[in-house]
């Protein structure tokens, strides 16, 4: 099986714009500010002190860490321009074969990355459809509608099917949708952030702001608090690597290499830092939330609110639009919903392509390796991932504890995949000519920081106590079960079916004697 056969039936239709827009849809600043701000505002250190004042600088640190991993993905895409749809899964086998490893070792490496990547690419869409259900429930409750668990599950199922249907239609349809959704959220981000900054500098209500001057927003206040915030903020930046799963459909390999970095530059460096600065500039001590008769102000109010960004937008609308804060909040809510859906669609497209490559090679059941003859999409992968998303999303939407558990599970999968891919990059680039910093320092730092973030996420969940501790335990247990299931499947599959290793261009297909029938 040649390398290009992983994309057999897929057409090379994506230019730099299409590749980048699909990756950017997974990094959705319009969605995650609304979703994560309350969690970040509520975060405290083990002593109970709030870490919220270091939110912006924590994001900046997380962005620097993300760029390390993005650089490794870009370098791997440059080295293996015919990697097809497998992304890290394919990079692993190519790197090991490149370095003279045995077929058995190379196959084990690729299966490990492919199997673990499903903890990210198959769990994450379910997490996001659960967030969609929670988000829409908040909007409906604003108008007095009672939202039952059954209705929440119905919302999850509808959006899972909708994402699956668009993914089945093909990458060109998905690209058009993602371009539209990206533009909508960018307009929303710029509009709301500009209003927040005008509110800060004009101060029409003469409020007392939490930060005495704008410079205090971007300066670190406590080193440990910065790390605490970074451990959350890095989760909103993942997705740049999804461009590498589109190599079979990209017109030029260089578009994928550039798209990985551009997605993070545009969504992270520009929009995330801009909107977080605006939200931090707005936060003030006149912002109050009353819970069980107790009044909270500033960051404490944001920690208690179910939607602090919605509160901010309503205030801005009331001040600048003559009391039409509710209407403005609903307009912004539409953009947020669009951004969340873009994330669901982008991750679905990535997940089905990785699973398709594994099915094509026999590392998953062969049915996953089938393409729709007309649309060139892996239809069975679409069907299975749609069902999985609905099940996980339905579970997550039932309670905050459930949602936290599946979110942590997805985070564990993300950091495992990123850490191992950085290690693959170090292995693949070690003998290349060029800068030692690029070949060795960047991949090593990327691997180390992702493992550090994985430990931090698990540790924060463990020390959190109560619901958070339960959720972390569920995520860790599920990861262990998935890993053991992978080992069992790999051993059984190795005894019953051969697996083709993807060769270098111009070489004959490689069969693994150790696992062939």
Structure tokens at 492: 């059984």
Strand partners, 284: 209
Residue 101: other Cβ atoms inside 10 A: 16
What residue spans of 101-252 are helical by DSSP H? 103-121, 124-142, 149-169, 171-202, 215-218, 223-233
Does residue 294 sit in helix, strand or coil?
A: strand
The rounded distance, in Å, linking the Cα atoms of 160 and 124 is 12
Q: Buried b vs exposed e over 49-87: b needs ≥16 C-beta within 10 Å? A: ebbbbbbbbbbbbbbebbbbbbbbbbbbbebbebbbbbb
Nearest to 245 by CA among 388, 361, 73: 73
- The secondary structure of 342-409 as a DSSP string is HHHHHHHHHHHHHHHHHHHTTSS-GGGG---TTT---HHHHHHHHHHHHHHHHHHHT-HHHHHHHHHH
Structure confidence at residue 511 as a pLDDT band (50, 70, 90): very low
Place of tokens 């051993």: 491
Cα dihedral: 182, 186, 192, 193 (round 10): 130
State which of 82-86, 208-212, 436-440 shows the largest mean pLDDT: 208-212
State which of 186-195, 224-233, 303-312, 507-516 shows the largest mean pLDDT: 186-195
Structure confidence at residue 143 as a pLDDT band (50, 70, 90): confident
Structure tokens at 89: 């899964």
Calculate mean pLDDT across residues 439-467. 81
How high is the mean pLDDT of the chain? 88
Q: Which of the residue ranges 123-127, 230-234, 421-425, 430-434 would you say has the lowest mean pLDDT?
A: 430-434
Check whether 7 has a pLDDT greater than 70: no
Calculate mean pLDDT across residues 225-238. 87
Structure confidence at residue 343 as a pLDDT band (50, 70, 90): very high
Q: What is the 3-state secondary structure (H, E, C) of 230-292?
A: HHHHHHHCCCHHHHHHHCCCECCHHHHHHHHHHHHHHHHHHHHHHHHHHHHHHCECCCEEEEC
Check whether 499 has a pLDDT greater than 60: no
Check whether 457 has a pLDDT greater than 80: no
Structure confidence at residue 102 as a pLDDT band (50, 70, 90): confident
| Terminal CA-CA length for the chain | 17
The rounded distance, in Å, linking the Cα atoms of 37 and 233 is 10
The rounded distance, in Å, linking the Cα atoms of 90 and 68 is 20
Total number of residues shown for the chain? 517
What are the Cα distances from residue 387, in Å, to 154, 165, 181?
13, 12, 24
pLDDT given for residue 9 in this prediction: 63
Calculate mean pLDDT across residues 372-388. 90
Consecutive H or E run containing 500: strand 500-501
Q: In sequence order, which residues have a C-beta less than 8 Å from that of residue 213 and are 6 or more positions away?
A: none
State which of 119-123, 454-458, 473-477 shows the largest mean pLDDT: 119-123
Calculate mean pLDDT across residues 128-132. 93
Calculate mean pLDDT across residues 408-412. 89
What are the Cα distances from residue 385, in Å, to 41, 315, 416?
33, 40, 21
Q: Would you say 370 and 378 are in contact if contact means Cβ atoms under 8 Å apart?
A: yes
Q: Would you say 132 and 394 are in contact if contact means Cβ atoms under 8 Å apart?
A: no
Structure confidence at residue 35 as a pLDDT band (50, 70, 90): confident
pLDDT given for residue 494 in this prediction: 80
Q: In sequence order, which residues have a C-beta less than 8 Å from that of residue 92 and are 6 or more positions away?
A: 106, 109, 110, 112, 113, 114, 420, 421, 424
pLDDT given for residue 504 in this prediction: 39
The rounded distance, in Å, linking the Cα atoms of 468 and 408 is 10
Extents of the domains making up the chain: 3-511
Q: Would you say 314 and 161 are in contact if contact means Cβ atoms under 8 Å apart?
A: no
Structure confidence at residue 500 as a pLDDT band (50, 70, 90): low
The highest-level CATH class for domain 3-511 is mainly alpha
DSSP 441: I
Structure tokens at 102: 């045995």
pLDDT given for residue 27 in this prediction: 92
SS3 content of the chain, % helix, strand, coil (to 5): 75, 5, 20
Q: In sequence order, which residues have a C-beta less than 8 Å from that of residue 506 and are 6 or more positions away?
A: none
Q: Would you say 246 and 81 are in contact if contact means Cβ atoms under 8 Å apart?
A: no
pLDDT given for residue 430 in this prediction: 81
- pLDDT per residue over 255-280, tens digit each? 999 999 999 999 999 999 999 999 99
The rounded distance, in Å, linking the Cα atoms of 67 and 288 is 37
Q: What are phi and psi of 161, to 5 degrees?
A: -65, -40
CA angle 396, 235, 65 (to 5 degrees): 165
pLDDT given for residue 472 in this prediction: 81
Check whether 293 has a pLDDT greater than 70: yes
State which of 100-114, 257-271, 419-433 shows the largest mean pLDDT: 257-271
Structure tokens at 46: 């083990």
pLDDT given for residue 6 in this prediction: 54
Q: Could you tell me the sign of the dihedral formed by the alpha carbons of 482, 488, 492, 495, in that order?
A: positive
pLDDT given for residue 510 in this prediction: 40
pLDDT given for residue 502 in this prediction: 45
Strand partners, 296: 289
From the centroid of its chain, how far is CA 161?
A: 20
pTM (2 d.p.): 0.89
Structure confidence at residue 354 as a pLDDT band (50, 70, 90): very high
pLDDT given for residue 473 in this prediction: 85
Structure confidence at residue 147 as a pLDDT band (50, 70, 90): confident
Calculate mean pLDDT across residues 453-460. 79
pLDDT given for residue 465 in this prediction: 57
pLDDT given for residue 99 in this prediction: 86
């Amino acid at each position: 099986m040649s390398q290009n056969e992983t994309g057999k039936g897929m057409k090379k239709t994506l230019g730099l714009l299409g590749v980048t827009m699909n990756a950017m849809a997974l990094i959705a600043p319009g969605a995650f500010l609304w979703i994560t701000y309350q969690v970040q505002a509520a975060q405290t250190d083990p002593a109970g002190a709030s870490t919220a004042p270091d939110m912006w600088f924590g994001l900046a640190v997380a962005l620097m860490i993300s760029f390390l991993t993005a650089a490794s993905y870009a370098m791997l895409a440059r080295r293996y321009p015919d990697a097809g749809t497998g992304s890290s899964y394919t990079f692993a086998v190519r790197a090991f074969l490149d370095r003279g490893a045995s077929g058995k070792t190379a196959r084990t490496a690729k299966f490990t990355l492919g199997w673990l990547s499903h903890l990210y690419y198959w769990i994450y869409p379910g997490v996001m459809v659960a967030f969609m259900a929670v988000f829409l429930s908040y909007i409906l409750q604003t108008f007095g509608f009672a939202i039952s668990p059954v209705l929440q599950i119905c919302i999850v199922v509808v959006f899972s099917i909708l994402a699956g249907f668009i993914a089945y239609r093909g990458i060109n349809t998905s690209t058009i949708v993602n371009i539209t959704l990206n533009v909508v959220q960018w307009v929303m981000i710029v509009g709301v952030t500009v209003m927040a900054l005008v509110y800060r500098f004009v101060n029409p209500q003469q409020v007392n702001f939490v930060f005495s001057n704008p410079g205090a927003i971007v300066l670190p206040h406590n080193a440990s608090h910065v790390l605490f915030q970074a451990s959350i903020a890095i989760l909103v930046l993942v997705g740049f690597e999804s461009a590498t799963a589109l190599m079979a459909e990209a017109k030029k390999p260089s578009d994928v290499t550039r798209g990985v970095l551009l997605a993070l530059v545009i969504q992270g460096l520009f929009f995330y830092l801009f909107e977080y600065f605006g939200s931090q500039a707005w936060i003030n001590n006149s912002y109050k939330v009353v819970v069980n008769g107790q009044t909270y102000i500033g960051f404490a109010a944001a920690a208690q609110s179910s939607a602090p960004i919605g509160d901010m937008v309503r205030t801005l609308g009331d001040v600048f639009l003559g009391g039409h804060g509710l209407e403005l909040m609903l307009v912004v809510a539409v953009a947020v919903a669009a951004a969340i859906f873009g994330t669901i669609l982008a991750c679905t497209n990535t997940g089905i392509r990785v699973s398709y490559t594994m099915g094509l090679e026999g590392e998953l059941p062969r049915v996953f390796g089938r393409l729709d003859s007309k649309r060139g999409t892996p239809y069975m992968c679409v069907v299975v991932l749609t069902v999985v998303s609905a099940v996980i999303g339905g579970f997550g939407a039932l309670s905050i504890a459930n949602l936290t558990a599946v979110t942590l599970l997805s985070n564990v999968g993300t950091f495992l995949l990123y850490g191992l891919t950085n290690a693959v990059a170090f292995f693949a680039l070690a003998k290349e000519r060029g800068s030692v910093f690029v070949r060795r320092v960047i991949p090593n730092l990327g691997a180390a920081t992702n493992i550090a973030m994985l430990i931090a996420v698990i540790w924060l969940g463990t020390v959190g106590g109560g619901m958070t501790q339960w959720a972390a335990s569920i995520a860790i247990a599920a990861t262990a079960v998935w890993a053991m299931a992978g080992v069992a499947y790999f051993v059984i599959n190795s005894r019953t079916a051969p697996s083709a290793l993807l060769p270098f261009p111009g070489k004959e297909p490689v069969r693994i004697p150790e696992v062939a029938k």
